[in-house]
Amino acid sequence: MKEKTKNNKLNRREVLKKLGKYLPSAGLLWIASSKLALPAEENGKKHNYGMGVYIKRCIGCGRCANACKEENNVPRDPFFYRTWIERYAVNMDGEVSVQSPNGGIDGFSPMEATRTLLKSFFVPKLCNHCDNPPCVQVCPVGATFKSPEGVILVDEKYCIGCRYCIQACPYGARYFHPEKKVADKCTFCYHRITKGLRPACVEVCPTNARVFGDLHTLSSPLLRFKRMNDIHVLKPDLNTEPKVYYANMDGVVR
Amino acid sequence: MFNPLKIFKTIPEQIIRLLLIFAGVIAALIIARHLFIPASFGKLGHYRADALDEIKSLPVQYAGRDQCAECHEDKIAILNSSYHKGLSCEACHGPGVKHVAAGGDYELLMPVKREFCHKCHAFLEARPTGFPQIDTITHNPNKPCIKCHNPHNPTPPSPPSECGVCHRSIESMKSVSPHNSLQCTTCHAAPREHKLNPRKYLPSKPSAREFCGKCHTKNAVASKEIPRIDMDKHGNTYVCWECHYPHSPQAE
């Protein structure tokens, strides 16, 4: 130390000591910076898509579920849906019944007028495109994933059909495709939204009960939807952070 | 002093053979990994990046209303000034990309049956009140809807006389309640314009306890079967409909 201050010079020992100190931290910084850097953004803009649903506008006509099958070649048989409609009926004693005959495509049969029925309403359902998706976590081969736009997709060429993801989804939004033998689900009509079109269900909804938009765009209809309404998501306790938002949703909806 | 070659020579032969086998297995694994994992895997994340383009290139079926407007401006103009203004063409006519690609030569759906309109307009308890709904059995049975309603401008030929046409759930609830004999207009004064422009001209609602008191106070001039209460002692500061839902009033 004495020598160093005298000559104002570093000797060999000092240099080696300092190198030993700083090189590893420099290396760590370099690795961290390359790992933490955001992925390349397409057209200079990063999207994060989501959907809003006005519960009070849904008339349960089933046009969305029908259009989804047309657009995405979903098998016509019952039990295969990417989106479907549920009818909730709440009784005076708190009893809740949920119906979804053929996903609502053929409509619903009328209910008897009773004095014990408190209220009844429709809830359109689809994949919530969770920000923290359990289905992606469990896929053993990396066939289901979150796209750079925040859309949860299935790579049907890479899926081995193990059905873990179908089990893992808390919303029942996935089904096993009977012909392709792979898991299948809502893609937010990825092939449409990347061309600037709206998802098929949003396009055909006669009462505009569905709102599609980008959470990263300030003028997005979805941001207005979130600003102007009381928003809730399905099963928030599971920490899946869904990106399908429901306006004025009753607590009985699961 | 330190000679790697010398050390190597001291390793027993069976260990070297074992090391060679290990090296071979590891090399085989590396080659297999290279062959089996697709090139684009891991480019954007733990998935095959090429899958994005494959999904993007799937065929589109619904063209969107902007596409329809390019040839059918007239129809869109009628639609835009009608109650069906929010409606997409393809909601009724079906997916239209093939129709656009064929320059109009591919026929689209032309739903004419009653059952198709019923998908939206048949009465269901769960539908929001105010949404036009009919009783499919009593509303001009067996007559196609399009005989009276132009689907592109569905305003009925004459304004509906019954409130239940749009407020069916309230009417059906009232029909099984003690208030079943009351007319809607007993409590609500609906301006004539409400039937033509429902959201702009709203019907009135009773605003004071005294309104219900006209029938339900102790000394009201009304039928004896009507339940009576002492308006001064009953209900505190609440207005009546904060406890009794007027369309299905309960006394207990």
Per-residue pLDDT reduced to its tens digit, B80-96: 999 899 899 999 999 99
DSSP string, A87-122: EEEEETTS-EEEE-GGGGTT--PPPPP-SSEEEEEE
What was the pLDDT predicted at A30? 66
Looking at residue A204, its pLDDT comes to 95
CB interface of B with A, residues 159-178, below 8 Å: 172-173, 175-177
- Tens of pLDDT, residue by residue over B37-79, are 999 999 999 999 999 999 999 999 999 999 999 999 999 999 9
Given a cut of 90, is residue A132 above it in pLDDT? yes
Burial degree of B147 (CB within 10 A; 0-12, 13-18, 19+):
exposed
Cα distance between residue A52 and residue A210, in whole Å: 6
Distance (Å) from the alpha carbon of A237 to chain B's nearest alpha carbon: 27
pLDDT tens-digit readout, B133-173: 888 888 888 889 998 899 999 987 787 778 887 888 788 88
B113: pLDDT strictly greater than 50:
yes
The shortest CB-CB distance from A203 to any of B38, B88, B127 is to B88
Edge-first strand order for the sheet with A49-54 is: A210-214, A49-54, A244-247, A231-232
Does position A187 have pLDDT exceeding 80, yes or no? yes
Cβ–Cβ < 8 Å for A104, A82: no
Quick: pLDDT tens for A16-31.
Answer: 777 777 777 766 666 6
Nearest to A70 among B41, B52, B61 (CB): B61
Average the pLDDT over A51-58 and give the result.
Answer: 96
Which residues from chain B sit within 8 angstroms of residue A144, using beta carbons? 47
Rounded average pLDDT over B122-136: 87
Who contacts A179 (Cβ-Cβ below 8 Å, separation ≥6)? Answer: A75
What is the Cα Rg of chain B in Å? 37
B171 — alpha (psi -120 to 50), left (phi > 0) or beta? alpha
For chain A positions 137-156, those within 8 Å of chain B (CB to CB) are 142-148, 153, 155
B chain contacts of residue A203, beta-carbon cutoff 8 Å: 62, 64-65, 88, 90
What residues have CB less than 8 Å from B164, skipping those under 6 apart?
B135, B170, B171, B172
Tokens encoding A132: 């923290």
> Distances from the Cα of A134 to the Cαs of A142, B57, B186, in angstroms?
13, 27, 56
pLDDT value, residue A36 = 47
Token reading at A160: 């081995």
The answer to whether B61 contacts chain A (CB < 8 Å) is yes
Chain B's closest residue to A158, CA to CA, is B48
Percent of chain B clearing pLDDT 90 (strictly above): 45
Average pLDDT of the residues in A147-172:
96
Tokens of residue A46, six digits? 């990063």
Model pLDDT, residue A39: 43
Say how far apart CA A190 and CA A212 lie, in whole Å. Answer: 12
Flag if A153 and B46 touch (Cβ within 8 Å). no
Q: Who among A117, A147, A192 is closest to B60 (CB)?
A: A192
Q: What's the pLDDT at B2?
A: 76
How crowded is residue B197: how many other Cβ atoms within 10 Å of its Cβ? 9
Q: Which of A42, A47, A54, A61 would best serve as a mutation to test chain B binding (most B beta carbons within 10 A)?
A: A61
Distance from the first to the final alpha carbon of chain B:
105
Please tell me if residue B126 touches chain A, with a CB cutoff of 8 Å.
yes
What is the DSSP-derived secondary structure letter of residue B122? B
* Global model pTM greater than 0.90: no
CA dist list (Å): B27 to B20, B21, B22, B24, B48? 10, 10, 9, 5, 24
Domain ranges of chain B: 12-56, 61-110, 119-175, 203-252
Report d(CA A181, CA A160) in Å as an integer.
8
- pLDDT score for B1: 64
Query: What are the tens digits of pLDDT across the range B192-214?
Result: 888 888 888 999 988 888 898 88
At residue B45, the pLDDT reads 92
Residue A71's pLDDT is what?
Answer: 96
| Mean pLDDT across A85-94 | 93
Question: Which DSSP helix (H) or strand (E) runs through B93?
Answer: helix B89-93
Average pLDDT over residues A105-117: 82
B240 or A243: which leads in pLDDT: A243
Closest Cα in chain A, distance from residue B249 (Å): 10
B118 and A CB contact within 8 Å: yes
Q: How far apart are CA A70 and CA A155, in angstroms?
A: 20
Cβ–Cβ under 8 Å, residues A159 and A183: yes
User: What residue of B is the nearest CA neighbor of A86?
Assistant: B126
- The string of DSSP letters for A22-77 reads HHHHHHHHHHHHHHHSPPPPGGG----EEEEEEGGG-----HHHHHHHHHHT--SS
Rg of chain A in Å (alpha carbons): 26
Q: How many CB atoms lie within 10 A of CB B36?
A: 8
Domains and CATH numbers, chain A: 2-32 (no CATH), 47-128+188-247 (3.30.70.20)
- What is the CB neighbour count within 10 angstroms for residue A108? 24
Q: How many residues does chain B have?
A: 252
